[in-house]
Structures are given as C-alpha cells and as structure tokens.
C-alpha cells in the first residue's frame, strides 16, 4: 500500500484550467503558422518546383477553402466526439498534413495543404466553444490570450522562415518541417488532457432562414472581403516586395511587421467600436489604416514600405476582431449569433479562398503587380461599403 498523500482536491481542480489554458494557447499557436510560412518561401518554392503564380496561390488558398466548406460541419464533430477529443484529433491530422507538405513534392504539398486546412477548420470553429464552456467567467481574458498567441505564431512563422531556410543552405523544406514539429508538440501535450473530456451540447450551425436575410449576406460579404485581403497579403506580400527589388530577408521582415501590427489592433478594434455611439463613424475610423495603406502598397510599394505594412497590419487586425464582434452583436439572440457565425465563416472563407489564386493568376498574365494590387484596392472599397451597411441597424433574426 502506498503512503503517498494525494494532492488536495482544490489543487487537482486548479490543474485542469491551467492545463487547458496551455492546450488552448498551443492550439492558437498552430492555427496560422502553417499557412503564413508559405509567403516568405514562395519565391524559392516556385523557382525550385517551377510553379506558376496560380499554383503557388493554391498553397495559401486551399486551407481557406477548407475553412469555408467545413465551418458548417465542424460543430457536429464536437457534438459527436466531444470538444477535447475532436481538437486533439485535429492536431494529429494537422501534424500529418504539415509533415506531408515538408517532403518537397508539389502533389504531396497540395495533399498536405488540404489535410492541414481541414484540421485548422475544425480548430477554428471548436476552440471558441471550448473557451466558452471551460472558462465561462473568463471568456474575454482567455480569448485575448488566444488571439495574441495566434497572431504571434503567424508573426514568428513569417519572421523565422527565411533565416531557418538560410541555416539549412536554402532548403525551404526545413521551415515547413518546423511547423510540423510545433503541431506534434501540441498534439502530445493534449493527450493527457483527454481524461477531462466532456461531450457537452451541440454547437449551433447556420439556420436556413438566415440565407434569406440581406443583412446576413452583407455581413458575410464584409467578413469574406476582409479575409480575402488578409490571406492574399499573407500569400503575396513578400513576393510583391521581392519583385520590386527588396531582398528575401527584407521581405520576410516586412511580412513579420505586418502580422505583429495586427496584435494590438485586435484588442483595440472592438473597444473602439463598442464605445462610440455612431457605429458607422467607428467603422470608418477602423478602416482608415487600410484606406491609406493598401493604395500605398499598390502605387508606392518601395517608397515607404514600412509605413504601408504597419498601416495594413493594423487595419487587418481591426477587421478580424470587429468582424467577429459584429457577428456577436448583430444577431437577435445567442442562437442567431451562433448560426450567423457559421454562415459568415462559410461564405467568407469560400470568398477568401479565391483571392490568392486569382491575384497570382492575374500577376502571371500581366507580369507585374500594379494591376493585381489595384484590384485589391477595389475590393477594399466593396468591403468598406458592406461594413458601413452592417455596422448598425435592426438585429438580424432567423
């Protein structure tokens, strides 16, 4: 018989939130790294594998397409298997996809990219539900940590990709493999957390009646265009600077700044929107960095590159957090907001998936970036109009 004294019950109860918090932050750290890391490496990957711009764009667009397709179905996995089990499984699937992609063959890269896109789609939808269920009194604080970690992981991937490639004699497979290692660490840490798994209740999907609401479509258009701009910049921003004459290292630094600048804006956007009585004026203010920065990138790429990436990074940080805030507050009740979330993420990510491929194909056809970037300026105008329409009005009802 063992003489060991078991830990106090309070200590055992405290271990679960701490362990889950670490697990949630590891989920967040893996949600964007595998996508963002492609941008700084795109030039080298394209040259070695002799890929067109459209073929390279697939490596960024395909995960986003998976987000759009699976956002409606992911809640069913949480209902059937429990949130913790589904998320742990998603991490192992993510590891498999990232590992396949690091083998260096384009067909395997496409297959691995599709697999990792499916995994991240599940993580995108189920992680907020886990936060609400496990930390009901600290949702804002945990969501803030989760958002910072996600943005920080993206910035780390963008900033370390080129130096890591250089350390291994220009072999771009090693930065891709490093993302797989991060996913493996997270999956292993999640295994002991499964003892605390809980099936819980089903998460609501989009209601069919929402598809008949113009307000829901406009909100989906806003969410989709801001996502399209983010993932297009993630895929091509580094190459835009390289083709304009910047070095690979400098382009990687600028992409890192773009991702880092979104972190504080993610916090400030909802606060600014919530505290201003005139919601359309608030929406105009959070759009100002993009309305200045995107045309600057298009027409004065290397004249003030740091200024443009700072403005665009801040603007994109505002957009994702304000977009998610709108989904939460524009629904008539919690049920409608949950359905609105699924609808907007499905429509939005399907629209966003077109961006990297179409912009890459347009660059291939024209041989320069001025017109593709001008198209993004036009899409920003559409986004701004949809945002102003969605900023205020009667609650959306199912």
Render 319-369 in DSSP notation, one character per residue.
HHHHHHHHHHHHBSSHHHHHHHHHHHHHHHHHHHHHHHHHHHHHHHHHSSS
* Tens digit of each residue's pLDDT (9 = 90 or more) over 376-388: 999 999 999 999 9
Res 135: pLDDT? 79
- Report how far Cα 42 is from the mean position of its chain's Cα atoms: 19
Res 212: pLDDT? 76
Quick one: DSSP state of residue 170?
Answer: T
| Helices and strands, number each (H, E), in the chain | 15, 0
Q: Decide if 251 contacts 241 (C-beta within 8 A).
A: yes
Whole-angstrom Cα distance, residue 223 to residue 340?
11
Percent of the chain with pLDDT over 90: 38
Place of tokens 């109009």: 385
Res 208: pLDDT? 59
For residue 3, with 0-12 CB atoms within 10 Å meaning exposed, 13-18 middle and 19 or more buried, which class applies? exposed
Cα–Cα nearest to 187, from 379, 29, 342, 355: 29
Reported confidence tier of residue 6, pLDDT bands at 50, 70, 90: very low
Whole-angstrom Cα distance, residue 303 to residue 320?
28
* Tens digit of each residue's pLDDT (9 = 90 or more) over 339-376: 677 778 788 888 888 888 899 899 999 989 999 999 99
Coil, strand or helix: which one is 149?
helix
Whole-angstrom Cα distance, residue 373 to residue 236?
10
Over residues 217-238, mean pLDDT:
90
Cα–Cα nearest to 89, from 66, 111, 60, 121: 121
Residue scoring higher pLDDT (83 or 109): 109
Is residue 4 over pLDDT 60?
no
Res 1: pLDDT? 41
Global pTM reads 0.73
Whole-angstrom Cα distance, residue 268 to residue 167?
37
Res 189: pLDDT? 94
Phi, psi of 357 (to 5 degrees): -70, -50
Res 314: pLDDT? 95
Coil, strand or helix: which one is 135?
coil
Cα–Cα nearest to 232, from 308, 159, 295, 316: 316
Quick one: DSSP state of residue 210?
Answer: G
Reported confidence tier of residue 176, pLDDT bands at 50, 70, 90: very high
Whole-angstrom Cα distance, residue 233 to residue 240?
9
Q: Decide if 259 contacts 313 (C-beta within 8 A).
A: yes
Is residue 2 over pLDDT 70?
no
Reported confidence tier of residue 289, pLDDT bands at 50, 70, 90: very high
Q: Domains in the chain, start-ordered, CATH in brackets?
A: 16-203 (1.20.1250.20), 204-398 (1.20.1250.20)
For residue 318, with 0-12 CB atoms within 10 Å meaning exposed, 13-18 middle and 19 or more buried, which class applies? buried
The top-scoring range by mean pLDDT among 30-34, 163-167, 258-262, 288-292 is 288-292
Reported confidence tier of residue 338, pLDDT bands at 50, 70, 90: low
Residue scoring higher pLDDT (195 or 236): 236
Is residue 149 over pLDDT 60?
yes
Res 5: pLDDT? 43
Res 8: pLDDT? 45
Is residue 32 over pLDDT 90?
no
Is residue 222 over pLDDT 60?
yes
Res 231: pLDDT? 87
Q: What integer best gives the mean pLDDT of the chain?
A: 84
Res 351: pLDDT? 86
Cα–Cα nearest to 163, from 49, 29, 40: 40
Res 304: pLDDT? 93
Whole-angstrom Cα distance, residue 281 to residue 391?
9
Coil, strand or helix: which one is 396?
strand
Q: Decide if 133 contacts 196 (C-beta within 8 A).
A: no
Reported confidence tier of residue 240, pLDDT bands at 50, 70, 90: very high
Whole-angstrom Cα distance, residue 239 to residue 172?
15
* Tens digit of each residue's pLDDT (9 = 90 or more) over 99-139: 999 998 999 999 999 999 999 988 887 887 777 677 777 76
Percent of the chain with pLDDT over 70: 87
Res 27: pLDDT? 93
Tokens of 289: 């960095």
* Tens digit of each residue's pLDDT (9 = 90 or more) over 261-275: 988 888 788 778 878
């Amino acid at each position: 018989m063992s003489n060991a004294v078991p830990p106090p019950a309070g200590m055992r109860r405290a271990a679960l939130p701490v362990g889950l918090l670490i697990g949630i932050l590891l989920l967040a750290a893996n949600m964007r790294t595998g996508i963002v890391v492609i941008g700084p490496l795109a030039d080298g990957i394209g040259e070695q594998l002799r890929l067109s711009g459209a073929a390279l764009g697939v490596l960024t667009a395909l995960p986003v397409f998976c987000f759009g397709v699976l956002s409606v179905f992911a809640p069913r996995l949480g209902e059937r298997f429990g949130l913790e089990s589904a998320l742990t499984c998603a991490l192992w699937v993510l590891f498999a996809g990232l590992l396949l992609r690091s083998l260096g063959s384009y067909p395997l890269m496409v297959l691995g990219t599709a697999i990792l896109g499916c995994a991240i789609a599940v993580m995108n939808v189920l992680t907020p539900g886990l936060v609400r269920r496990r930390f009901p009194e600290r949702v804002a604080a945990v969501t803030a940590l989760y958002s910072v970690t996600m943005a920080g992981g993206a910035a780390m991937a963008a900033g370390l990709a080129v130096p890591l490639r250089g350390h291994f004699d220009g072999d771009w497979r090693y930065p891709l493999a490093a993302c797989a290692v991060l996913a493996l660490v997270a999956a292993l840490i999640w295994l002991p957390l499964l003892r605390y798994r809980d099936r819980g209740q089903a998460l609501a999907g989009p209601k069919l009646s929402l598809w008949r609401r113009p307000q829901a479509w406009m909100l989906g258009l806003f969410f989709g265009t801001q996502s399209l701009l983010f993932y297009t910049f993630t895929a091509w921003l580094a190459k835009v600077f390289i083709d304009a004459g910047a070095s690979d290292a400098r382009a990687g630094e600028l992409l890192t700044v773009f991702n880092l600048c979104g972190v504080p804006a993610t916090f400030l956007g909802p606060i600014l929107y919530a505290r201003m009585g005139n919601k359309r004026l608030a929406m105009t203010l959070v759009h100002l960095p993009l309305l200045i920065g995107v045309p600057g990138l298009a027409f004065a790429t290397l004249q003030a590159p740091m200024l443009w990436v700072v403005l665009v990074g801040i603007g994109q940080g505002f957009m994702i957090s304000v977009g998610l805030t709108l989904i939460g507050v524009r629904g008539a009740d919690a049920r409608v907001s949950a359905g609105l979330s699924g609808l907007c993420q499905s429509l939005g990510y399907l629209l966003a998936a077109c961006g990297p491929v179409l912009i890459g194909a347009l660059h291939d056809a024209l041989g320069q970036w001025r017109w593709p970037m001008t198209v993004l300026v036009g899409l920003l105008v559409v986004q701004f109009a949809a945002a102003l329409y969605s900023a205020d009005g009667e609650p959306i009802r199912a």
